Amino acid sequence: MLLGFELRYLSRDPLALVLTLLAPVLLYPLMMGGFAKVSRDDQQTTADAELRVVAEGETATRIQAGAERVTVLSEGELIQKSDDGGVHVIVRNDEAGRPRVLEYRGSAWESREARDRVETVLTAWQDEARATHWADIGMPVAPEAVLEVRSHDVAGDAQRQAMRLGQLLPGMLVFLVMSSGLYVALDLFAGEKERGTLETLLTSRVDRGAVLAAKTAVVCLATLASVGSSLFTLWLTVQSGLVDISALGGVGMGINAAVLLKAGVLLTPLSLVLSAILVVGAAWARDYRQGQALGLPLLLCGIAPAGLAAVPDLQLGAALALVPISGISLALRDALAGELDPALGVLALVAAVGHAALGMALAGRLIGREDVLLGGGSARRDPDRLGREAAIVFLVALILFWFFGQLAQSRDLVWGLAFSQVVILGGTAVGAVFVLNQDLRSLWRLRAPRVADLGLGLLAGIGCTGLGDLVAKAQAPFLPTSSAFTEQFAAAFNVDLPMWAMILVFAVQPAIFEEILFRGTLLGLVRKSLSPWAQALVVGLLFGLIHFSVFRFFPTGVLGVALTAACIRSGSIAVPMLMHFLNNGILVGASHPDLEGLLPVEELPLWWDIAGTALVVGSVALMGRRR
């Protein structure tokens, strides 16, 4: 009943209808018409343009004779005219009068076109000269008969245009969907707060959850309607012939009902993700005006990641398919070009469904809070909850590590690492404790562990080597490690140091300083804001993030989760420190030339990984238990 009412009420707002349904109807024909005109002009101009080339001697003669629609000027003529603004290419000859350098302006399409025309002539001349040379030395062979390679774009005009259109469309669609959804969300949440109707509704006997669910559902339906209207209008524009899109070649064949259906399937979870963002922003605002101020940042949250589809040569891979909004946008671009890899499409779709579910769950949780619902959400907070401070501490460490830590490591790996660990991570961890006026012993869990927990930590630390490797193996099919990364990573450990120094740098240091930042300060700060499970997950994944590598994020993140869980369960930071030391120490020690062959760290066996994972899970689960 509530949903029906909200929809009927919304339907009485002409502006909502215009933004949701009519804007796409008006916009897409205009956009397609404009796009076709630009292409047509581009094609005509490129084909018809009379281009000017400066060349001397035989080079000039050959270009004049061989290149179409080219006017050849000599340098003398150029000087007389005192103007080189109209020259598109200059061919410089060597002392023997042969062409050596071709100067063109890459920023101007006319210059690039002139270069192509001149190059065709020069390549033919080169082949001819080579044939003459072979004949002169008694080997009359035409070079092109031996080996001639010509590049040929098999994509064809239709696919090229579809790809260009695909680069434009995701950003456009996200903008339209978010614009219509934003208006509806602001009206339903911030607007109703301001007008007092939300308070009126919440004092009726209807369940609060049902009221909020109905409003959220209306925002979702509005964004979905916008998606539907966009795709239908796109199809109608291409198929109906209302707009002359002949310049787009066979692009009309590309955008058929099947492709648009595929696009609709991809866009459905995307519109739910966007709806969740809009609902959170609109509910957070105290009133309509504040909601409007939030509008641009909210739009950017959607449009910026969708804009990745417009980046030339950015390929959809397994990792990108998992990125919210960007993954679907790239999949949509490829779908419109008819080049979507089905496996990647499914991965992007599944990821987007996950993002949508997560977004909706978070939105539901946030808008249900009475401080958000009945006032501004930003001002009221429990001073004992330090989640926001934890985020700031992490960002400070991340930024310092990114700029100064990496710089120091690039100059000298060993001393740079020491600087990063001790000064940046350790300094941030200690500094935060004092700035936030926290009790160090309690925040860092500086307690002697139980002997049993220490023993379990010992086992878990050994097992961590297997856990990290198992995660790396599991992610490999989706995120194949690049050879550059493997070489870089191997080079990092290829330092000429004695064993004890290697252990000190790569095992002891991280075990102390990474632990006091992550399991000490950060875990201590979030413990009143998150459940223990969430603490382990959040702190663990932040630990993965600071390793600054998409390939190491999950392996180190999962290790981080295990270390955090061990710290929570044992109640002492000493346990994760021991585990961290053992994990790094075993990997570093076994890769040292002195111990070569003891453990094949380059290719750990699967049984080791499984046994190690079981050891970690079992040991952490048993920690903190009393007899």
Residues that bind other proteins (CB under 8 A): 1-2, 5, 9, 12-13, 192, 195-197, 199-207, 370-371, 374-375, 379-383
230 CA to centre of own chain = 25
Please identify, using beta-carbon distances, which residue of 196 and 593 lies nearer to other proteins: 196
Minimum CB separation of residue 328 from other proteins in Å reads: 34
Q: With respect to other proteins, which residue has the nearer C-beta, 34 or 209?
A: 209
- Judged by beta carbon, residue 4 or residue 593, the one nearer other proteins is 4
Residue closer to other proteins, measured from CB, 11 or 239: 11
Residue placing its CB nearer to other proteins in the complex, 196 or 597: 196
In the bound state with other proteins, the residue whose beta carbon lies nearer, of 202 and 391, is: 202
Cβ within 8 Å of residue 338, ≥6 positions away: 159, 162, 254, 259
Which of 124/374 has CB closer to other proteins? 374
> CB of 234: closest distance to other proteins in angstroms?
31
The DSSP H or E segment spanning 100 is: strand 99-104
Q: Return the number of the residue (200 or 240) whose C-beta is nearest other proteins.
A: 200
What is the full DSSP assignment across 494-547? -----HHHHHIIIIIHHHHHHHIIIIIIIHHHHTTTS-HHHHHHHHHHHHHHTT
What's the min distance (Å) between Cβ of 366 and other proteins?
Answer: 16
Q: State in angstroms the smallest separation of the CB of 197 from other proteins.
A: 5
- For residues 550 and 480, the answer to whether their CB atoms sit within 8 Å is no
Shortest separation between residue 224's beta carbon and other proteins, angstroms: 22
Residue 32 corresponds to which tokens in the numbers above? 């397609």
CB of 1 to other proteins, least distance (A): 7
Closest distance between other proteins and the C-beta of residue 221, in Å?
18
Cα separation, 239 vs 32, in Å, equals 12
Question: Given the complex with other proteins, which of 10 and 118 has the nearer CB atom?
Answer: 10
Q: Which amino acid is at 33?
A: G
CB of 210 to other proteins, least distance (A): 10
CB of 211 to other proteins, least distance (A): 9
Cβ closest to other proteins, residue 26 vs residue 206: 206
For residues 543 and 559, give the distance between their C-alpha atoms in angstroms, rounded to a whole number. Answer: 9
Q: How far is the CB of 378 from other proteins (least distance, A)?
A: 9
C-alpha triplet 358, 364, 370: angle, nearest 5°? 145
φ, ψ (nearest 5 deg) of residue 150? -120, 135
Residue 471: name the closest of 570, 530, 541 by CA. 541
- For other proteins, which is the closer residue by CB, 199 or 244? 199
**Least distance CB 388 / other proteins (angstroms):** 12
Distance CA 46, CA 116 (A): 11
Tell me whether residue 380 or residue 625 sits nearer to other proteins (CB atom). Answer: 380
Q: Is 73 helix (H, G, I), strand (E, B) or coil?
A: strand
User: Within the chain, what is the greatest distance between any pair of CA atoms?
Assistant: 102
| d(C-alpha 16, C-alpha 282), whole Å | 15
Please say which residue, 309 or 373, places its beta carbon nearer to other proteins: 373
- Is the CB of residue 374 less than 8 Å from the CB of residue 397? no
The number of CA neighbours under 13 Å toward the Cβ of 62 is 20
The nearest distance, CB 443 to other proteins, in angstroms, is 21
Could you tell me which of 385, 421, 379 has the C-alpha nearest to residue 404? 421
543-554 burial by CB neighbour count: b if 16+ within 10 A, else e?
bbbbbeeebbbb
Alpha carbons 563 and 577: distance in angstroms, whole number? 8
Buried b (16+ CB within 10 A) or exposed e, 486-520: eeeeeeeeeeeeeeeebbbbbbbbbbbbbbbbbbb
**Measured from the CB of residue 196, what is the shortest distance to other proteins in angstroms?**
3
Phi/psi for 550 (5° steps) reads -65, -30
Q: Give which of 262, 213, 205 is closest to 235, Cα–Cα.
A: 262
Among candidate residues 41, 52, 40, the one with its CA nearest the CA of residue 115: 52
